[in-house]
Structure 1
Amino acid sequence: MAAIVPRPSEERLVETRQRGMVDPYAGFDAFDFIRRAPSPEISAYVNHFWVVTWTDLAEPYEQRIVSHPTVNMTIAQDFHQIRGVIKGGFSYTMRGSGRVFGTRFRPGGFRPFLGRPVSELTDCFVEIGEMFGAAGSTLVEQVLTEPDAQAVIALTEKFLLGLEPKEDPLAEEVAALVAMVENDVSVTRVDELAARSGRSVRSLQRLFRDYVGIGPKWVICRFRLHEAAERVYQGLDLATLAAELGYTDQAHLTRDFTGAVGMTPAAYARLRSRP
């Protein structure tokens, strides 16, 4: 069993809050983004709440996302979904004025609500009302009509607690392991993570598929790509970065980066030269 490590500090969360957003600083000219910590009563399951709002956009703005190994519940006028881990990149186009309210669950944190392997949700979008019935549909209506973000968070916490989830030691274990991968860039191989966890590679793979929704190799690669995007944007040499992140060569990093981000590292680095 893995030792339970502390959750990332609020300072760490602030530092990394843009991770997963492609070209985030351009995006912040188009929309406002806030995140809020959950109350202690729901923090075993929820990582944070987030709200994106935009007003009177003259032109549509498309924000590309390089997803995290988490389940999200998202509510907007045009969709209200439970979203499993998305293996590829995806994007959302904002038009006019609008708001998206999201609940990001901790890795493993949605398993007590789902009651079955989270891998069943991977690359899937499920309507909140379909998953949670009339209570889920009522939550959607309440969120869409409530303008105050803090009130929306309170409604969502009340809804989730009303589902009576039971804390699960395996969910805590997997959350600790995912946090280890995110915060320690030296973790670059599944066998290293298995050794630290005290599990076999096969056992670790089963745990991740059941509770995270995807295998540990993908989780390691995804967090290293988040790191790469941030550091390429800051101007770090790609060959040096590839070596630090455990890639055998620069070409492999370029291939993975381009597939996830939608452009080569060199093109992404050039974005920082804009006014």
Structure 2
Amino acid sequence: MELRDVRGLTDAVRSAGVDVVPYEITHVAPGTHLGIPSSTVTLIVDLCDGLDLTGPGLPRRTTFTCGIGELHREAFTVHHDGTQIGVQLDLTPGAVRRLFGVPVGELPSMLELDRIDAGFTRRLRDAVGEVPHPARRRAAFDVLVDQMSGRLAGPVGADPDAVRTWRQILRTHGTVTVSQLVEQSGWSARRLTGVFTAEFGMGPKQAARLVRFDTARRRLESGRSPGDVAADLGFADQAHLTREFTAFTGLPPTRFLRVRASEFAAE
């Protein structure tokens, strides 16, 4: 029997835009894998020797114990020695505001989370590090509940026009045009771009590209053909999809899928 019922708050944390994925990868060949751009912010709690990264905004190969960064438009390379153990938290921009009181647009490419909130970082790392792998998801949720219980009213401080624009981009899977967003907002393109960039670290056009790419990637990984994905998401043709995919990952779609399938080969 639980000492307290957190199901309601846990559901609220999920609805606020947080997903928690513990991982435990062992006995694979040392190598690299791609940290792919997406429409969520990735927070990694590493429980080994640190998350070893190269990529945008990092002057050199850098190790993080509990790393978080902006919404990325370029892939990172994760270097590993055959073992990776930790917890990945996927946070919407609104969840970043609720958890830490800052907009995604103020985050650098990558930094240690304790520079934003040392107390939360310590509680989260201790909680997931003190329990076995099957219990880490719940342990992380408990810490999130405590952090967010008084902040679930909404993304306090965010410009409402920026938030509405972001939600519209998500609803349309990034297929909405900037002119449509401007018309729906009732503001000038300059004003909307300004408040949106301050909140999300990129303009509406770049955000729509990111969300459309993210949607395309997920559909390709589910088995859809590049031609069908290109048609569904309003790309001019399959070649256009390939160019966008290469811009975000460094790889065309078919090669990307092959690389992803072979990233964690048995030792």
| TM beyond 0.5 | yes
Alpha-carbon distance change, 143 to 252 in structure 1, aligned in 2, over 3 angstroms:
same
Aligned to 1:262: 250
RMSD: 3.7
Distance 1:112 1:57, change over 3 A: same
Match of 2:20 in 1: 50
| Map of 1:219 onto structure 2 | 207
Q: CA deviation at 1:107?
A: 2.6
How many residues are matched?
235
One of 213, 216, 225 as aligned partner of 1:236: 225
The separation in 2 between residues aligned to 1:222 and 1:189, in whole angstroms, is: 13
- Supply the distance in 2 between the matched residues of 1:259 and 1:195 (Cα, whole angstroms): 29
1:216-254 CA-partner distances (Å, limit 9, x unpaired): 11221112222333455635354x754653445554432
Cα offsets for 1:120-147 (capped at 9, x unmatched): 2142x22222211344334323332233
CA deviation profile, 1:46-87 (whole Å, cap 9, x unmatched):
412222423432313643232223333321121202222122
Query: 1:69 aligned to 2:39?
Result: yes
Q: Is the 8 A contact 1:188 1:245 kept in 2?
A: no
Q: Which of the numbers 134, 141, 145 marks the counterpart of 2:130? A: 145
* TM-superposed deviation, 1:172: 6.7
Q: CA deviation at 1:173?
A: 5.9
SS in 2 for 1:50: strand
Matched, 1:127 2:102: no
Tell me the equivalent position of 1:208: 196
Gaps of 5+ in 2: 1-6, 51-64, 263-267
Pairs within 5 Å for 1:43-192: 43=14, 46-60=16-30, 62-77=32-47, 78=50, 79-123=65-109, 125-147=110-132, 148-149=135-136, 150-161=138-149, 167=154, 168=156, 170=158, 174-185=162-173, 187-192=175-180
Residues 227 and 54 of structure 1: CA distance in aligned 2, closer, same or farther (over 3 Å): same
% of aligned pairs identical?
23
| 2:75 aligned partner, one-letter code | G
On the 8 A contact 1:38/1:47 being kept in 2, the answer is no
Check conservation: 2:42, 2:90, Cα contact below 8 A.
yes
* CA apart distance, 1:266: 4.5
- The answer on whether the counterparts of 1:62 and 1:93 sit within 8 Å (CA) in structure 2 is yes
* Contact 2:46 2:85 (8 Å CA) reproduced: yes
Indicate conservation of the 8 Å contact 2:44/2:88, yes or no: yes
Q: In 2, Cα distance between the equivalents of 1:104 and 1:73? A: 6
Counterpart position of 1:39 = 10
TM-score, scaled to structure 2: 0.69
TM-score (normalised: structure 1): 0.67
Rounded to whole Å, the distance in 1 between the matches of 2:40 and 2:261 is 32
